[in-house]
Every structure is written in C-alpha cells, then in structure tokens.
Amino acid sequence: MRLREYSLLILTVLALSLPAQASQWYPIDTGRLWVYSDADGGSQSAAVEAPESFAGSLVQPLQWDSGSRVYLSLDESDRVLLHGVTFPDGSYVVFSPPILRMDSELTMGHEWKTLTRAIQYTANGVEVRRDQARSAFRVIAIGPVTVAAGTFQAAEVLRTEETDYLPVYSFRDTYAEEIGWIFRTDESGSSVLFELEDYGEGGVRTEVSSWGAVKSLFR
C-alpha cells in the first residue's frame, strides 16, 4: 500500500473513533458554519471542515474565508481545545499544551486558565520562536442576548490574552447554547467588534429574515 493511501486510511480510522463533537457552548461538528459582521462593516465567515491531523493530533479545522485555519478538538469532558492556527501566508503556530478554549459548563463567575508555549513556524516548517502564552477566561454574565441572527440564551466571557512579546489585552466574547460564538466587544463592552449574522449546520445556512437590534440584556 502506498504511503499516501496508508495515511488516508489511518485518518479515516481515527475519525471514526472521534467522540461526538457536542460542546454545548462551542459546537465544532463538521459542517457547522457562521457568518459575522465586523467593526469595519465587512463580513467574515467560518466553517468547520472534516477532521485532519495537525501537530500530531486529530483535530476539527475551522476555516475562515480570510485564509486562516484554526485547529480545535473536543476532549473526553466536552471541553474545546485550541491546538494552533495556520495563517494565510502559510506560517503557523502550535500551542503546546493546547489552550482550553471552552470549558464544558458556563456558570456565573466560572473561571479557567491555560499556560502554554506558543511555537511559531514558517510556511516551510522552520521554527522561528517560542514564547509563553497565558489565556484567562471568566464568565461575567448569563442571560438572553439579541444579535442580527436572533435572540439566544447566552453567556458572556471576559477573555484575557498575554504573551512574552505582546501586551495584555482583553475583550468580551458571548456564546449561545447550541450555536457557539455570537458576539464580541472590547473590554468595556462599548464597541462591537464582531456580531453573528447567520449560522447553519451541515453547510446549510439558517433563514434570517431581518436584523435585530444589537442589545445585551446583561450589561
């Protein structure tokens, strides 16, 4: 059997053994898609593609139309892990260990943190630097939120990122049950950075008939 065929066989077997991708707050099952408006008035979309191998792990790739590719997986406790990112120029970063991107339960005041090493590579796979990276998450509000795509029961998470070479920065991400990430603002909550316009499963988008007023009922 040729090497390429053998590799495809291994990936197929591993994919069949994957646990169900069923995170309540950040679903990453193949075929999920989201469309967002951004702060510049543009639109960005992302879709979860079929499982593949990245940095020695079987992952669910989240492909953005900007060209970035984010590598996620679900552990045995239904927590979403972030393994790394490939950028449009082909360079990429690996997080070792993976960042705990989403915990299994979001309750008011719940916190989680990850200390990892961010290893950056060129498109040719040449390592260029290693840095410590710290991610911290805290649930600051629970309640219904209305965005362009609809009104959802949601949780607002204050997210703080820090590396050895960049200053600390924070922002607020809002997640809806069974939908995923729906809203992002700056740390104060005063400036909208991303808002969910549309979403779907299996490559099929929902029917969004009108824009809802952007309002958060828990600020």
Global model pTM greater than 0.85: no
In a domain, 21, yes or no: no
Q: Write down the pLDDT at residue 167.
A: 85
Structural domain that includes position 149: 26-216
63: exposed, middle or buried (C-beta count within 10 Å: 0-12, 13-18, 19+)?
A: middle
Q: Write down the pLDDT at residue 24.
A: 86
- The answer to whether 23 and 78 are in contact (CB under 8 A) is yes
CATH of the domain at 43: 2.40.360
In a domain, 112, yes or no: yes
Structure tokens at 122: 């060129």
The per-residue pLDDT string of the chain (219 residues; one tens digit each, 9 = 90 and over) reads 444 444 444 343 333 334 444 478 999 999 999 999 999 999 999 999 999 999 999 999 999 999 999 999 999 999 999 999 999 999 999 999 999 999 988 999 999 999 999 999 999 999 999 999 999 999 999 999 999 999 999 999 999 999 888 889 999 999 999 999 999 999 999 999 999 999 998 644 444 332 233 223 223
Structure tokens at 114: 């990850």
Q: Write down the pLDDT at residue 202.
A: 62
Q: Write down the pLDDT at residue 90.
A: 97
Number of structural domains the chain divides into: 1
In a domain, 10, yes or no: no
In a domain, 17, yes or no: no
Structure tokens at 93: 């970063």
Distance CA 121, CA 109 (A): 36
DSSP letter string over 140-151? EEEEEEEETTEE
128: exposed, middle or buried (C-beta count within 10 Å: 0-12, 13-18, 19+)?
A: exposed
In a domain, 7, yes or no: no
In a domain, 1, yes or no: no
DSSP code, position 50: -
In a domain, 160, yes or no: yes
Q: Name the 3-class secondary structure at 165.
A: coil
In a domain, 15, yes or no: no
